[in-house]
Structure 1
Amino acid sequence: MSTMSLPIVSTCSVAGCSYNHDHDCHAAAITITGTTSSCGTYVEEAAKAGVDATAQVGACHRAECVHNTSLECGAESVEIGPGADVADCLTYSAG
């Protein structure tokens, strides 16, 4: 999988994240971590951060997700929002 084919973060409803600008994630890439599919890139808003592009999923540590192959996300896109944590991958689905 090349970086050109990484899934995008289609929407982010975590209003308190530094990378979230109008429900669009502007981190270069995010990492999904933990036992609750949390967005490991979440940073509580201190100042606006990020790049002038839509974020992609760089890595996913949730090997049991149906979209995960070799710790890479194969979903077309993902949604990030409040779940068990402040910022979770809402596209996560246990396989």
Structure 2
Amino acid sequence: MTTTLEMPQVHDCSATACAYNDDGCHAFAISMNSDAGCATFLSLNDKGGLDVVAQVGACQRSDCRFNESLECRAPSVRVGPSGTSGADCLSYQAA
């Protein structure tokens, strides 16, 4: 079982339209959906989150080489803007 200390950090997020992105992702943890989109993306004018660097937990992208038992095992993750989901996992690599 993965503990929060073992979860990969969001090294970089360039999805500036996300309410959790205030000079970096400040959600406690994010999830990636089956399209490698950030399921935690929230488009609001207000900025929120915690004084932490976000971590990645759940990952529904089963064909990613970093997906192990639906959890992300990448060393770190980069997230960027997307035209369809708001933000995508730029660290996705096909298995």
Calculate the TM-score normalised by the size of structure 1.
Answer: 0.92
Gaps of 5+ in 2: none
How many residue pairs are counted as aligned between the two chains? 93
Q: Is 1:51 the equivalent of 2:37?
A: no
Shift of 1:40: 0.3
Shift of 1:82: 2.1
User: Contact (CA 8 Å) 2:30, 2:57: kept in 1 or not?
Assistant: yes
Describe the superposition over 1:28-56 as per-residue Cα deviations: whole angstroms up to 9, x where unpaired: 0000003x210000000231110100000
SS of the equivalent of 1:26 reads coil
Report 1:29-48 matches (<5 A). Answer: 29-34=29-34, 36-48=35-47
The whole-number CA distance in structure 2 between the counterparts of 1:91 and 1:82 is 13
Give the root-mean-square deviation of aligned CA atoms.
1.1
Q: Is 1:14 the equivalent of 2:15?
A: yes
Runs of 4+ residues over 3 Å off in structure 1: none
Gaps of 5+ in 1: none
The whole-number CA distance in structure 1 between the counterparts of 2:18 and 2:26 is 10
